[in-house]
Amino acid sequence: MASPDAPAPGVPSPPAASLPSLSPVSFDAVEGWSGFHAGPALAAFRASAPALLAGTPETGRFGLGPARFAGAAAAVLAQPVDIPQDEARRFFERWFQPMRIEAEGFLTGYYEPLVEASLTRTPRFGVPLYGPPADLVRIENEGEPATPATPTFHRRLTDGSLADYPDRAAIEAGALAGRGLEIAWLADPVDAFFIHVQGSARLVLEDGRTVRVGYAAKNGHRFTAIGRVLVTEGKLALEEADMAGLRRWLAAHPGERRALLERNRSFIFFRLLPDEAPGAGTPHGPIGAAGVPLTAMASLAVDRTLHTFGTPVIVEAPGLQVDGAPFRRLLVAQDTGSAILGAARGDLFTGSGEAAGALAGRIRDAARFTLLHPREGARP
């Protein structure tokens, strides 16, 4: 899933809870639409189609329930997997009406780290990733009317009462030792920390196999962005507080590393997942909050209280250069994160590995968001 916690420094505060208006626009009004590579978004929408037909995604406050997408979902599943880009664009033109979100938008990025690891502790691999403990309980809070509940996590004591779960410092000092919760072992505590921030990873094992770890739960403590701490304390310039800059600072200050990482009291628990090759045309990313594999550069984490998973969204961030051109892409809402708040706030899944991480780490850009609203009465 998307980074389950707060974003890097420079990300604006969440907007007010009021729902912004939507303004209908034509596809021609979207700059560069005729050159959009819509194939990745079509593959992502195809991955969401079965859930939309089953009616499983919760309806966000924009009111686009899964049934509204049924025609388009059935149509995409009836199409060949590989079609030309112009046909992919025509699919979206046929089934959807662009509706611009009248609010200031902001885009960040996240990725799936690719890290060497072991499933057993060894002299090289001694930093654990944990599965969720049995005494960790998820509580669904009551949300606003028509708003999905927000879960919190607590510790269930032996008398049945609830308490705060141990924080990062306590866990790394041994609070969970001896309980057999370790599901994988890494060599570097900084790698482990950033896997916590991203919420998932692909692990390369010593025999060459790969497995995945995905978000399962968290300890319930509030996230503290260590980049924001360094900027606030004057130890790092804002423009240097991306992932690469944070790694450089941590490498240059090993004596301060543990204390800084422990400033983030939030701690993530994972589940071990297979890394199987999918069928042709099937996304092969980590499983997002929508329950489908994410598609690199086509899956978007959104505020799930507002958006319905499976909704296509055009995101334009002209200040962000990707592949030598301003970023304008068609994406699909397939993930969420607790820091992704607001109608025009998104977190782009950039893919797996070092290059994807470098791109994700520098995305902090103003953006314009345009929902693709299912057309009434559209037919194949």
> Of 274, 294, 311, which closes a domain?
274
Q: Average pLDDT of 101-110?
A: 96
Q: Tell me, what's the pLDDT at 7?
A: 52
Residues 94 and 117 in one domain: no
Residue 30 predicted with pLDDT over 90: yes
Give a yes or no: residue 236 inside a domain: yes
What pLDDT was estimated at residue 136?
96
Task: Identify whether 14 is part of a domain.
Answer: no
Within the chain, residue ranges assigned H as helices are 39-54, 70-78, 85-95, 168-170, 189-198, 226-232, 243-252, 254-262, 354-362
> Distances in Å between the alpha carbon of 179 and those of 118, 171, 196?
18, 12, 20
Domain that holds residue 305: 22-110+280-374
- How confident is residue 344, by pLDDT bands cut at 50, 70 and 90? very high
Mean pLDDT of 367-376: 95
Is pLDDT of 241 > 90? no
Report pLDDT digits (tens) over 122-134: 999 999 999 999 9
Q: What is the pLDDT of residue 275?
A: 80
Report the pLDDT averaged over residues 70-80: 95
If you average pLDDT over every residue of the chain, what do you get? Answer: 90
pLDDT at position 16: 45
CATH code, domain carrying 265? 2.40.240.50
Q: Are residues 264 and 175 in the same domain?
A: yes
Give the model confidence (pLDDT) of 196-214 as tens digits.
Answer: 998 899 999 999 999 999 9
Residue 54: the pLDDT is 97
Query: Looking at the structure, do residues 267 and 143 belong to the same domain, yes or no?
Result: yes
**Beta bridge mates, 326:** 321
Residue 8 within a domain: no
> How many distinct structural domains can be found in the chain?
2
172 and 199 part of one domain = yes
Q: Do 255 and 123 sit in the same domain of this protein?
A: yes
CATH at residue 105: 2.40.40.10
More confident residue, 145 or 160: 160
**pTM across the whole model:** 0.85
- What sign does the CA torsion over 222, 225, 231, 236 have? positive
Mean pLDDT calculated for residue range 301-309: 95
Tell me the average pLDDT across 271-283. Answer: 72
Q: What share of the chain in percent tops pLDDT 70?
A: 89
- Residue 300 clears pLDDT 80, i.e. is over it: yes
Mark whether 174 and 138 lie in a shared domain: yes
Q: Is the dihedral of CA 77, 78, 84, 88 positive or negative?
A: negative
pLDDT at 9: 52
- Residue-level pLDDT at 145: 46
Which of 249, 274, 299 is the last residue in one of the domains?
274
Q: Reduced to 3 states, what is the DSSP secondary structure of residue 128? A: strand
Q: What is the C-alpha separation between 142 and 148, in angstroms, rounded?
A: 8
Looking at the fold, whether 99 and 145 belong to one and the same domain comes out as: no
What confidence tier does 36 reach under pLDDT thresholds 50, 70, 90? very high
In a domain, 288, yes or no: yes
- Two tokens at 370? 């345009």
CB 288 within 8 A of CB 2: yes
Residue 73's closest CA among 98, 42, 103?
42
Which of these three, 274, 306, 328, is where a domain ends? 274
In a domain, 92, yes or no: yes
Q: What is the mean pLDDT of residues 142-160?
A: 70
Q: Which residues pair with 99 in a beta bridge?
A: 24, 371
Same domain, 170 and 188: yes
Decide if pLDDT at 1 tops 70.
no
- Taking the C-alpha atoms of residue 335 and residue 339, their distance in angstroms, rounded to an integer, is 12
pLDDT of amino acid 171? 97
What pLDDT shows up at residue 70?
96
Residues in the chain: 380
In this prediction, residue 284 has a pLDDT band, given cuts at 50, 70 and 90, of confident
Provide the pLDDT confidence category of residue 281 given band limits of 50, 70 and 90: low
Check pLDDT > 70 for residue 282: no
* Same domain as 290, residue 240: no
Together in a domain, 99 and 176: no
The whole-number average pLDDT for the span 256-275 is 94
User: Is 370 part of a structural domain of the chain?
Assistant: yes
Note whether 267 and 173 are same-domain residues. Answer: yes
Residue 245 lies in a domain: yes
Query: Looking at the structure, do residues 123 and 89 belong to the same domain, yes or no?
Result: no
In this prediction, residue 146 carries a pLDDT of 47
The arithmetic mean of pLDDT across residues 151-157, rounded, is 87
Q: What is the rounded average pLDDT of the residues 171-194?
A: 96
